[in-house]
Amino acid sequence: MMQADRRKRMLFICTHNSARSQMAEGLIRTLYPERYEPYSAGTEPSALNPYAVEVMAESEIDISSHRSKHVNEFLGMDIDYVITVCDQAKQVCPFFPAGKESMHKGFEDPAAFDGSEDEKIAIFRRVRDEIRDWIVETFGGEGKGERLK
C-alpha cells in the first residue's frame, strides 16, 4: 500500500488511558474503520474503567480487550493526529514528536464523578455521547456516526 493511500493514524491521549481516550479509540475504530487507524494512550496509564466498557457495549462497541498504554509506546510511530482529550494531558504532553498535527478537545473526566451507580453510568453515557458527537463533527463525512446510538 502506498503511503498516501494508508489510513490516517490517530492517537488519543488522556491522563490514565482508562475512559475518555479508550472510548474515542473505540468510536473511531467503529465509525470510520476505512479512513482511520486509532490508538489511545495515557501520560500516567492505569487500568481500563469498567463503566467505559459498559457504556461502549451499549453502543455495540467492544473495548473490553483494550489495555491502558503509556504514550512512550508510540514515540517511534508515524502519527497523523495527536489528540488530547483531557486538559491535564494537554498540560503534561503539549507536544508529541511523532505527531504531524496536534489537537485538543477536553472532556469531563467521568471517572472523577462520585455518586450512585446510576449517576456514574449516566455521566459515562453523556461523555461517550459528547465524544461521539465531536468525532462525527470533526472527522465525519461519510460513515456510521449518524446511525450509532
The catalytic residue positions are: 14, 86, 93
Confirm if 124 and 50 have CB atoms less than 8 A apart. Answer: no
- DSSP assignments along 46-109, one per residue: ----HHHHHHHHHTT---TT----BGGGGTTS-EEEEEE-SHHHHHH-S--TTEEEEEE-----
Confirm if 81 and 50 have CB atoms less than 8 A apart. Answer: no
Cell 488511558 belongs to residue: 17
Spatial separation of the C-alpha atoms in residues 89 and 71, rounded to whole Å: 10
